[in-house]
Structure 1
Amino acid sequence: MCSPPNPTKSKVSVYASGEQAMMDASQSRRHLLLLPLLKRFVQWGITANHLTGLSLLCGIGFCFSYGMPWDQAKLLAFSLLLLHVLLDGIDGPLARFQKIAGNRGSFTDTISDQLVVTFTTITLIHYGEATIIAGSLYLFFYTLVVAFAMIRSSLAIPYSWLVRPRFIVYAWLPVETYFLPGTLNYLLWIFTFLLGWKSLTGFYKIRKKL
C-alpha cells in the first residue's frame, strides 16, 4: 500500500521576487563577513530568536527614550534604533548558520519588524514629528503591503518589486531632528502613495488568484 506523499511547505516571505533573488545572491557574502560573530553567538548559546527579541526591545526602547527630557535622549533613541536595524540584519544569517531557518522564524521576524514600524510611527505622531494623517496612512498601507506580501508569497504570486521604506524613514529621523526639520512628512507622503499603489495591485492579484 502506497502512503500519501508528505506535503511540502511553501516558503512564506515578505520579499518581492527580485528582492529574494538579490538576497539569495548576497547570503554567501554576508555569511563570510559575519562568520566569526556567528560562531561566537553559537558558543554563547545565543539563537536567532534571541536576536529577534533583542531587536524588538531596542526598537521599542527608541519609543520610550525619544521624548525623554534630557539633552542626549534623542541620541540614545537613534542609537537604539540603529541597534535594532543591525540585529535585524544578523538574526537571519544566524538562523541559517544554525540550520534552523524556516517559515516560523521568518514570520516572527516580520511581525517584530512590523511592531517596531508601528510603535515608532505612533511615537513620531505623538511628539508632532509626523502629522496624524501622514503617519496614519503610512502605517496603514505599510501594514497592508506586508500582509499582502505574505499572502501572495503563500499563493506563489510574489510581488515583482516592493518599496521597503522603513530603513529610509529611520535614517531620515536624525536629518529631521538636526538638519531639515519639517521634512519627514513629505517623505511619509511619498511612501504612502507608493505603498497605496502596491496595496491596490496586491489586492487585485490576490483576488484574481482566489
Structure 2
Amino acid sequence: MPAILELNIKKEHMEFVETEAKKFKTKLFHGSQNLVVSKNTLFAKLDGFILDRYKIIFLNILRKELFDSKIEHEKGCQTQNCGTASLYNNAIFTVDQTIENLNEYYVPTVTAEDIFSPHEQSEILSKINDVIFKLRKLEAGQEIIFDEIDDLKSSFYLGKKKWNQLLTGKIIDLGISYGVEKTILDSIYSELIESAKHLAPNTITDLFNIK
C-alpha cells in the first residue's frame, strides 16, 4: 500500500494490478519449494508488466498478501518447523529481493526543492529512531509497526512529497490493516512529518477526515 500511494496511476490500472497480485499469491506460494523456482515463477509474471512502476505496485501488494496469509496461518498452526510457513518465507524473501533490485535503478523524478538535504535526512533518521525507542519503551506497538517505520529510512530518494505520501500510506495501513490505535498513529505522524509538514494534513484526524 505505501508504495502504491507514492505513484501517480489511474484507478482502473491500480485495480487491475491489485487483482493480479491477489490471484498470483497462491501460484507463487505453491511454487516456492526452492528459491530458484520461486524466482523464475515471479520473474515470468513480472514480464507481463512493461513499466517498472507497475512492477513495484504489484510486488508490494503481493508481499502484503503473502505476509498477511502467513500471519493468519501461524495463528492456528502448532507445527514446529511448519512447511507452510517455510513456503511463505521463501515467497516473501523472493519478493523482497526483487523489490530491492528494482529500487536500485528505479528513481522517480525529484525536483531540486523537493530533495532532502543531508541535514534533513539526519534529522529525520534521529526522529525515526526516537519514535521506535519511545514505542518500545511504552510497549505501545507490535513488531510490524517498527518495521514499517524503519522502512522510511531508506526512502529519501523519493523526495519530500513522495516520502510524505509514503509515510501517510504507512499510517493509513497501520490503522486500517493492523488496528493500531489512533493516538499512537497521531504521535508517529506528528514526530516524523516535520520536514514535509507543508505538504501534509496536520493530524491523523485530518488524514482520516474524522470530524
With structure 1 as the length reference, what TM-score do the two structures score? 0.30
Larger radius of gyration: 1
Bigger relative CO (Cα 8 Å, ≥ 6 apart):
1
